[in-house]
Amino acid sequence: MAQHENHGDHHNHGSLKSYVIGFILSIVLTIIPLVLVMNNMLEKTALVLTILVMAILQFVVQLFFFMHIREGEKPRYNVQTLVLGLVIVVTIIGGSIWIMMFNKY
């Protein structure tokens, strides 16, 4: 079997410090909604919005600290591709919700 050699690839996969920071942020962003829900600290609407904001922040932390979206030869293209993918997903989900809400026979 042939072995694959990567002579030109020198990928920086982050430091221990960035992984620890990402891990701590992930834990904090998970614990905050858990405490709010378990202790009934907010009204329903505020609670849902808080959970949504924490989920979005968790997504961003995962992308930047663990998926290394900023790193690579062309990080700008990675971010542009991600933004386009998110726009498509939001459009599909929003369109589906729109159709379900306003398609009453």
- Is 66:19 a contact under the CB 8 Å cutoff? yes
DSSP class per residue in 35-93: HHHHTT-S-HHHHHHHHHHHHHHHHHHIIIIIS-TT-SS-HHHHHHHHHHHHHHHHHHH
Query: What integer pLDDT is reported at residue 54 of this predicted model?
Result: 93
pLDDT tens, 18-70? 899 999 999 999 999 999 999 999 999 999 899 989 998 998 888 888 887 76
pLDDT tens, 58-105? 988 888 888 877 666 666 777 788 888 889 999 999 999 889 888 776
> How many beta carbons lie within 10 A of that of residue 80, not counting itself?
11
Query: What integer pLDDT is reported at residue 36 of this predicted model?
Result: 95
